[in-house]
Structure 1
């Protein structure tokens, strides 16, 4: 007799800076929290390392602090979150396309789900995505086959059992169309992420593949430039703190304090680096937009009734995008960094039952 686990529909992105998941419970219950993101880095770990110096009777759960995540899958232990510095070989596999269907994606997915779902055993029905540059049939099949599994593992010292069925692999940015778009108009998406900018075009919800394109630039260049600034003071700047600086810049707030020895990193230097980075990327991004959506005899992008701007980079690149596509109706979506995974979760909840049988 097959056991029935509590069922959740999920939208998931591996991400190159941050991974994220959005959950929709299949029953009427609500979660205390249904969306979460986490730096998309893993480190090899040893539980014995964390237990050193603790009471001999302590278990793993006794020594973990908030933000510490330990996941053991198939005889391999990974550290995530605040434990990255306590492990070895920390990486986000950015330059390896297999990251979307390898154990890297599996570990991030399971960790994020366990952070939100209280049950020890549960089922995820999942929609995820690939960048436009990798979006083709064979890779999509690899993602579905790799993620669709019956997992037995431990998370923060507690055994877990999770059934994952991946019903569809979308194009990155397509979730914004699902979440914010309509069923009939000519519409497009500019999804500026951590490392990729994806342009997605559609007739209603049907993709117009020739008008979809991706390039490798995004918020990551701003992060790297800030990290180089801090390195001049012989300090390292974690990705979370770099994003905190960028968020303060975008929302016209005071910068968080970044120690550089006896002093803090000067705010004017932070602003100078960010504005310089944005200026340097303006020409490349504008050329990419205009070249991809060129219209003979009309301004670029005007073949679309509406263009949605999303992704975490929307906060920083909105002005230059509006300048490049002056004749277009551009809508910056609410909570742009989360719009895609919300759309993927909505799609997961709407898929026909037969789709999940195929995902086994």
Structure 2
């Protein structure tokens, strides 16, 4: 049974339109989510990767039990995102900070997600530590038609040696029969400082823009969602100047990009915190066809930062921060140092 949400009386849908009193319409609603799973590594040493530097491998005892708890905690969050609106888990989920496809298999086979029958799309990235990106999707809702991985080529300014980082994952398919494209990103970190590392994220944004341009060259009206941990805020050059993402729907031009996360950032809200300062590195953006007024196809409804109470640190120095999984060389039984983000898509049904 496909999930329907009934919107009636006076309801403003994030500035897109306002329904008139007593008018009733039914909408189908799906959630698209993104989550940084914070070092979801298994307990097996892979000689091809520097995975021994992961928090999981640095644990001295109870690795297997801790790994099971970590997987359970990830499944709990993924099963909860958007449920209050859709009465369902997300149709599509972008994930990062995963070691391999096996850890994702463990997550989707957890009892909280098993009956949703999630498929997995994953490629091994060239990242030195073995950190990858991936896409999870409910098979009955989304049918992939193609997928590919796209390497970001970076070189050290002085040595000119290659810097190995995460690929960008492009997945095309049909959500309830409607063609869409999803790009999952985990852009280079701010190690060494924001200014010193800025060019790497600008390069990542340029690769992302090329992927979007290539899809729009085939179909100018392509529905594209790009999401990820960008290690940049909505006001940084990578997002603002390269992707040219807009804050207001009315300013999004043909082939343009809308970023609903800008408003959260302007209000001081974030998905991750560092030194008593909030950042909104985790973002979901979309191309212009998602913000039109024709609800006969899937349109953007609303966005959110999923920061439910159980995901928040309740005490100590990091009170109010995301309750992370690993700290000071031990497992906290927490979740991630990032909050997930999500959007709802709706379509009018007869």
- Structure number with the higher helix fraction is 1
Relative to the length of structure 2, the TM-score reads 0.30
Larger Rg: 1
- Structure number with the higher strand fraction is 2
Relative to the length of structure 1, the TM-score reads 0.29
